[in-house]
Structure 1
């Protein structure tokens, strides 16, 4: 029996009504006023509920030209499951309310054979929201295109292993048929973020802090372009 990852956060983090979801995504993407670019090889977008970050996330996905892309690597941080590694999905299909995305099983096998990646079971996969929040956008943008996904859960990876995983994935970045969708909270605290300079396509906050006891969450989108 084929192992299917259900859209476990549909109906709570975003609507599970297919018509409503498709309409919202299309409206948010059109509202950006951005045009598709064949030079965009990857995006970084938030993973909060769509009522908070959907419009900001659209500024990333609106850049994607799906014409020549056949494989999408989806990277998302682990919020509930501890692992010192990056972990691959065991599912064969990722469901969304507006269309399912098949997993590139052969690529998963190739990467697993490297001996550096862990594997996440379906329970862990469905509990995690970071990658799922990108799936409806990707399903919308790649509608009608033959594309497969490679989901990668990013654990509490050491600086040394960050470099190692970066090296392993770099050869896939070089392939113009591959695309990277990176799910990020955009936290800028600490020395690891101090060297990163980026101009966001869109930046939004859930609210403005008025007192020292207030808190606020920010959402932002970015796109990575190739120069060739």
Structure 2
């Protein structure tokens, strides 16, 4: 690789963040201030990745659980929205450019973790930016951590297990943080998903019930029930494969005696669907802690 730093510019700059520079920093700090902190720092979080106008308040509940004083490397696992993949993709760029400051990619870790199932691309298409880099109290020192962005394709259950086992050794390290980037139900004709349980009342209540079923299963930290839930309801959780990798990584650590738990802390919807012409996207924020 040449000495010239290869950069990936911010995705959807402007419309995605709804602010820039000091305005964005103040906006993120406001959401973080309103969120509660748990007693133990998160080793992994599940957080939404839509525009901050829609999911910023919800996402803050996950990112508030991050302890910047101990975090040195951040693995960001997100779904492949635009590229058909049956494995995982790593980036060859050195820097992710954000409206706040540049994020440096841990290229040593990228190359050390390669196996035959990785697929290297020049620019990751991850639709999210590390959100907890916003100034907060205590501050996140931008030069004291690196990121490892991983684009997760449509993995089979066996591949989710393989990647989970690979990532488990990193999940065991308290200086590492895993950010699982995922929205939850995408409901409406434009998403080709209109599951509705009329016993729940309004459509948006049926959507929430469906999401919370999945959230309750994720909290069990067992990939098998989550896989069965997806097969039964086909809930359009875009980060289902990154979530599956995390559940398998957690299962591996628990098998080796590590005590951990996962809890969802917040849930929201972009709008409340009441008719078949409506549409919405759901957001959930949760954190995994090691005891």
TM-score, normalised with respect to structure 2: 0.69
Q: 1:16 to 1:10 in 2, by over 3 A?
A: farther
- Name the SS of the counterpart of 1:210 in structure 2: coil
Please state if 1:172 is matched with 2:170.
yes
- After superposition, the CA RMSD in angstroms is 2.3
Task: Report the Cα distance in structure 1 between the residues aligned to 2:226 and 2:34, rounded to whole angstroms.
Answer: 35
Shift in Å, 1:137: 2.9
- Structure 1 residues 179 and 221, CA gap change in structure 2 (3 angstroms): same
Q: Deviations over 1:129-176 (max 9, x none)?
A: 1x33xx243354663250000000001111110101001101111111
177-186 or 147-156, larger mean C-alpha shift: 177-186
Tell me, in whole angstroms, the C-alpha distance in 2 between the residues paired with 1:199 and 1:218. Answer: 17
- 1:15 is aligned, of 15, 18, 22, to 18
- Match of 2:11, SS state, is coil
TM-score, normalised with respect to structure 1:
0.87
- Give CA-to-partner distance per residue, 1:170-213, whole Å, 9 cap, x none: 11111111110110123458962629997521111122122233
Tell me if structure 1 keeps the 8 A contact 2:69–2:140. Answer: no
CA contact (8 A) 1:28 1:58 kept: yes
CA distance in 2, matches of 1:100, 1:87: 21
> 1:192 maps to which residue?
227
**Runs of at least 5 residues in structure 1 that lack an aligned partner in the other structure:** none
The whole-number CA distance in structure 2 between the counterparts of 1:225 and 1:198 is 6
Verify: 1:70 aligned to 2:105, yes or no.
no
Aligned residue in 1 for 2:120: 119
Give 1:67 deviation, angstroms.
1.0
Matched, 1:144 2:141: yes
Q: C-alpha displacement at 1:10, in angstroms?
A: 1.7
1:221 aligns with 2:285: yes
Unaligned runs of 5+ in 2: 186-210, 215-224, 231-246, 248-260
* Worse overlay, 148-157 or 8-17: 8-17
Rg larger in 1 or in 2?
A: 2
Is this contact kept in 2: 1:74–1:182, CA < 8 A? Answer: yes
1:15–1:213 Cα change, 3 Å: closer
1:76–1:154 Cα contact (<8 Å) kept: yes
Aligned pair partner of 1:31 in 30, 34, 40? 34
Distance 1:3 1:30, change over 3 A: same
Distance 2:16 2:8 in 1: 16
1:105-116 residue pairs with structure 2 within 5 A?
105-112=107-114, 114-116=115-117
Counterpart Cα distance in 2 of 1:101 and 1:176: 20
SS at match of 1:2: coil
Task: Give the length in aligned residue pairs.
Answer: 219
Question: In structure 2, what is the Cα distance between the partners aligned to 1:140 and 1:149?
Answer: 17
Distance 1:42 1:198 in 2: 9
**Pairwise mapping of residues 75-94 of structure 1 onto structure 2 (< 5 A)?**
75-94=77-96
Q: Structure 2 vs 1, CA of residues 191 and 66 (structure 1 numbering), >3 Å: closer, same or farther?
A: closer
Cα distance between partner residues in 1 of 2:18 and 2:278: 28
Whether 1:211 and 2:246 are equivalent positions in the alignment is: no
Task: Name the one with the larger helix percent.
Answer: 2
